[in-house]
Structure 1
Amino acid sequence: MKATLVLGSMAALSTSMLSTTAQADTWRGWNIHPPGYPNTIALESFAKEVKEATDGRVSPKVYNNSILGDQTDAIEQVRNGALDFANFNMGPMGPIVPATNVVSLPFIFKNIDHMHRVMDGEVGQRFAEAMAEKNLVALSWFDSGARSFYNTKHAIRTPDDVKGLKLRVMNNDLYVQMADALGGNATPMSYSEVFQSLKTGVIDGAENNYPSYESSNHFEVAGYFSLTQHLIIPECLCISKRSWNALSESDQQAVREAAEHASTLQREEWTKRSEASREKVLAAGVSINEVDDKAAFQDRMTPIYERFVEQNPALADWVEAIQNTP
């Protein structure tokens, strides 16, 4: 009789464990950055909070350093549900969600705080709705700093200082147009090739934020960093629509709150990391200069905006909405 009870209890416990396992949903998350990077810290905090808030019903795991594929592949994997969540830069999102090309317009944001106000408000909600139509649920917005020019030749203080410089830009026609409008020679290339290309003179310069400039060691071969701050591109914490729809309403709320907390943490960590990177490159002898007259650079962008609106008339009010956000 006792043996029967023991066996019965073991069977019940086994059934309970199987039931709990079946109910648990292990989420896989894509991340391009290494451990310790601001975005990684925020994503890992998000994963921990979601697991705790859902009592383990959702158990996210972050995979760093793009080990689950490059960003283009990862976007598609999140869209089709093969991956559950990710942190994406909005720059490469354009081919899938055309409205997101707006944030790649040079000087579309006045400064980083302005970008935060835009993305945390009604315009950010419009972006989220456009992304949801493509099976990407954007729950919060991350910072990626302001991108500025750096080069091996001289400080850039006016648009004329860009003339003739061979500049690496990301592979996006808007960025090519931007460099060309300033008189530079735009050279799209893989980020992994930039250090050697700067060192050997294949290119004269590139553009990025402080943490990337420092962590890539580009400061060792390109010692002039000029704060043009021409591109401020937000990032999203995105959930697969399939994974999102599988959640109960209460778990959706928990995941959304965790994403918002992650955004706050990421922005704080980004500010700290940016300042630390700035101090490091200064100590290494880099020449950093402010750009007093950004309006001169912005004026050169007028044809780019006119062409963009002409080619994308449906996005004209998106441009205006961002520019009119105080």
Structure 2
Amino acid sequence: MKRLLAISLIGIPLALSGSPANSQGIIELHGASQFNDDHAFTKSLAKFGELASSCYGKPLNIILHKNSELGLEKQYFEYMSQGRAVDFAIVSPAHMSTFSKAAPFIDAPFLFRDLAHWNKVLDQDLLKPIADEIAARADVMLIGYAGGGTRNIFVNKPVANMDDLKGLKVRVQGAPIWSRTFAAAGMSPTVIAYNEVYNAIQNGVIGAGENEAAGVEQMKFFEVAPNLAMTEHAITIRPIAFSGKTFKKLPADLQQCVIKAGKEAGAHGRQIESSEDTAKLEALEKAGRLKRIAFKDRDKMKKLVDPVMAEYAKEIGAEDILKKINEIK
């Protein structure tokens, strides 16, 4: 049977019918990405569509809305929870916190020692209890894990140690754990919408933000904050999320394909982002767009953050998960 991977160039109404099928009876699944074709997240979602279509072997329209056509990740998650407009997307765990306090713990600061540790945590599925909570409370399934970018602080002045960080006005994600950990490290964290960060730095509202290489490149943060302090404070996990309400309407064989494709597309995305991370920074630095600055006090920063992480894990009932993550060698 002919399989179709369609890229939509127009918007869709924010209320879909009660079925994922279109007027011709062909099942349609709508995905959303904030970014263009070159971004790792968009590539991961496109791969999901290809894999799901190939597995299903029947007519299936995968429509991927890019470049924030349907808003930002926070909206995507809300739409998936409501069963409208977006069926699948990659969403930062911080944007799931309205439904689950535990969600931002998935890639909280200093949770992972390095990329090898991060991979072992994912391979052992230690985050499953949190995924189960998100599914129960938001009716959104985490069907795969992309990500793999190491996050650093981009700033409008050189920052090389804890003294330089003191009082730094830095944009953080909306989940409370990000504000708590950055405040514990002596900074002045501020929650600002992702698409407003560039202007906020340009206008002096904040002096810095934090992101992985793909985000720094895509959003051109280097233009207003050309110094990259290599704090390596987090390694991203970006779940491929799928609407539970949509999933329940799909035929059983397509449901199985969605689960399979999600896992494989997540692994594909991790490989892309983790392998591209350093290359992107090297290219930007070679072009004179940013300067990587060695951060000398990462261990000191982590020591200040660890008690906050432990208290947060206790607060959200994730003490056992944190213990198992820390025990992985």
Structure 2 gaps, min length 5: 1-20
Counterpart among 125, 145, 149 of residue 145 in structure 1 = 149
Deviations 1:145-170 (A, max 9, x none): 121112122232x3222113222222
Structure with greater helix share of residues: 1
2:139 is equivalent to residue 135 of structure 1 = yes
Q: For 1:155, give the aligned amino acid.
A: V
Equivalent in the alignment of 2:77: 75
Structure 2 length normalisation: TM-score? Answer: 0.83
SS in 1 for 2:301: helix
Alpha-carbon distance in structure 2 between the residues aligned to 1:261 and 1:132: 20
TM-score of the two chains, using structure 1 as the length reference: 0.84
RMSD of aligned residue pairs (Cα, Å): 2.5
Q: Which has the larger Rg? A: 1
- 1:104/1:174 contact within 8 Å kept: no
* Aligned-pair CA distance for 1:140: 0.8
Superposed structure 1 runs of 4+ greater than 4 Å apart: 19-23
User: 1:218-272 deviations in whole A, cap 9, x for unaligned?
Assistant: 2123222121111223111122223323334433332222222212321232134
| Contact map agreement 1:102 1:319 (CA 8 A) in 2 | no
TM-superposed CA distance for 1:306, in Å, is 4.4
Q: What secondary structure sits across from 1:146 in the alignment?
A: strand
**1:189 matched residue in structure 2:** 192
Name the residue aligned to 2:93.
Answer: 90
CA gap of 1:192–1:81, structure 2 versus 1, over 3 A, is closer
- Following the alignment from structure 1 to structure 2, what is the Cα–Cα distance between the partners of residues 123 and 182? 27
Could you tell me which amino acid in structure 2 is paired with residue 302 of structure 1? D
Unaligned runs of 5+ in 1: 1-18
CA distance in 1, matches of 2:199, 2:176: 24
Match of 2:309 in 1: 305
Distance verdict in 2 for CA 1:165–1:84, change over 3 Å: closer
Structure 2 match to 1:11: none
Tell me whether 1:45 sits opposite 2:47 in the alignment: yes
Show the counterpart of 2:202.
Answer: 199
Amino-acid identity (%): 23
Instruction: Specify the code of the residue in structure 2 equivalent to 1:289.
Output: I
Question: CA separation of 1:272/1:233 partners in 2, compared to 1, >3 Å: closer, same or farther?
Answer: closer
- Hey, what does 2:292 align to over in structure 1? 288
Q: Are 1:101 and 2:104 an aligned pair?
A: yes
Q: Which one-letter code corresponds to 1:126 in the other structure?
A: P
The amino acid across from 1:46 in the alignment is F
Cα 1:306/1:122, change in 2 over 3 Å: closer
Q: Matched residue pairs, number?
A: 306
8 A contact 2:310–2:319 mirrored in 1: no
Aligned twin of 1:279: 282
Distance 1:20 1:209, change over 3 A: closer
Seen in structure 2, the aligned counterparts of structure 1 residues 93 and 309 have a Cα distance that, compared at 3 Å, is same
